[in-house]
Amino acid sequence: MHGLTRNDIEAAAAQIYQVMPATAQYAWPLLAERLGCKVWVKHENHTPTGAFKVRGGITFMHWLKQAHPQVRGVVSATRGNHGQSLALAAQALGLQALIVVPLGNSVEKNNAMRGFGAELVEYGRDFDEAREEAARLAVVHDLYLVPPYHRELVRGVATYALELFNSAPELDTVYVPIGCGSGVCAVIAARDALGLKTEVVGVVSTEAAAAKLSFESGQLQETATANTFADGMAVRKPVPEALAIYRAGAARIVAVSEEAVADAMRVYYTDTHNLAEGAGAAALAALMQERDRQAGKTVGVILSGGNIDRSVYARVLG
């Protein structure tokens, strides 16, 4: 376990608020009406990069400058949000960022990463292959390889959970999407640091269910593919360190279909006029799936990001 204390998370918040303000959480009335429970939405689609990852990027870079002052730059693999986060944070601290994305990655996410100052390499058929290439480039170019999961990333991400729990301490359940696991582990860490009883439920795509399979079997399971348009959850194999934490700290993991995610994206637009990418809408999709179980309760859903290409979004809304 990372054993993060409230002080650890508040110290992270102090670093993060130099770059961005806290994001909002709102209890939207039309969602409550639709779902028969009070629904608090944590708006991580409103960060400077449009997703929650920026928080971990900031704390990670601060840690890196202290722990490895000789480092001149970083390299990492991403489908987009982690990469934007690292690019923004690296630029803020005067470091170079080399980012590896799989071929055919989101054009708009790629543009955003370049906009934040990253140098992009396109390689491999999916995230897991891009990750192998990033490891190779780290050695070739003498750059620090940023993992998709690390204590410092979790510490930064936990600040959104701290904001949510401070604003809505009465939450019965929080639904969190799972990719490599920094989000769900951060929510668990903040809950435990605050001594709350809130149930944490992870969410995966039915097309990328490795985390759920591993959670339920107790063994690390890998899937052959992760072909979901919810690219933030398109991971074929869980990070063992993260799995250990959500296995111990999450109540269960729910799998949602592509259609359920698309439906939740439409509901976000209709009921709140917020833009959600696939992974960003997954938590709401899971709540919609479990609405009977949550009747009359107070529930949090993490809208983890809003970075989706216009053409894809137009198709979903249409």
User: Is 223 part of a structural domain of the chain?
Assistant: yes
User: Is 138 part of a structural domain of the chain?
Assistant: yes
pLDDT along the chain (318 residues), means of 10: 89 96 98 98 97 96 95 92 93 94 93 96 92 96 94 97 96 97 98 97 97 96 92 92 97 98 98 97 98 98 96 96
Tell me what pLDDT residue 80 has: 84
Please give the full DSSP string across 156-198, using - where no structure is assigned: HHHHHHHHHHHH-TT-SEEEEE-SSSHHHHHHHHHHHHHT---
User: Is 93 part of a structural domain of the chain?
Assistant: yes
Residue 60 sits in the same domain as residue 164: no
Tell me what pLDDT residue 231 has: 87
User: Is 1 part of a structural domain of the chain?
Assistant: no
Residue 123 sits in the same domain as residue 264: no
**What CATH number did the domain enclosing 277 receive?**
3.40.50.1100
Residue 214 sits in the same domain as residue 260: yes
Q: Are 196 and 169 in contact (CB under 8 A)?
A: yes
DSSP E strands in the chain: the ranges are 25-27, 38-43, 73-77, 96-101, 119-122, 144-145, 173-177, 199-205, 252-256, 298-303
Residue 162 sits in the same domain as residue 134: no
End-to-end CA distance of the chain: 44
Residue 46 sits in the same domain as residue 58: no
Q: Report the C-alpha gap between 208 and 261 in whole angstroms.
A: 13
Choosing from 145, 173, 199, the residue where a domain stops is 145
Q: For residue 200, give both structure tokens.
A: 């944490």
Q: What is the pLDDT of residues 221-264, one digit of tens each?
A: 999 998 999 988 989 999 999 999 999 999 999 999 999 999 99
Residue 167 sits in the same domain as residue 35: yes
Residue 253 sits in the same domain as residue 301: yes
Residue 30 sits in the same domain as residue 90: no
Q: What is the pLDDT of residues 209-220, one digit of tens each?
A: 999 999 999 999
Choosing from 145, 178, 213, the residue where a domain stops is 145
User: Is 213 part of a structural domain of the chain?
Assistant: yes
Tell me what pLDDT residue 1 has: 53
Choosing from 106, 121, 145, the residue where a domain stops is 145
User: Is 119 part of a structural domain of the chain?
Assistant: yes
Residue 167 sits in the same domain as residue 291: yes
Q: Are 118 and 21 in contact (CB under 8 A)?
A: no
Residue 14 sits in the same domain as residue 157: yes
Q: For residue 108, give both structure tokens.
A: 């708009």
User: Is 98 part of a structural domain of the chain?
Assistant: yes
Residue 210 sits in the same domain as residue 307: yes
In sequence order, what are the residues at sequence separation of 6 or more whose Cβ sits closer than 8 angstroms to the Cβ of residue 146?
Answer: 60, 74, 75, 76, 86
Domain enclosing residue 294, as ranges: 6-51+151-317
The domain tally of the chain equals 2
Residue 238 sits in the same domain as residue 112: no
User: Is 141 part of a structural domain of the chain?
Assistant: yes
Q: Report the C-alpha gap between 248 and 196 in whole angstroms.
A: 15
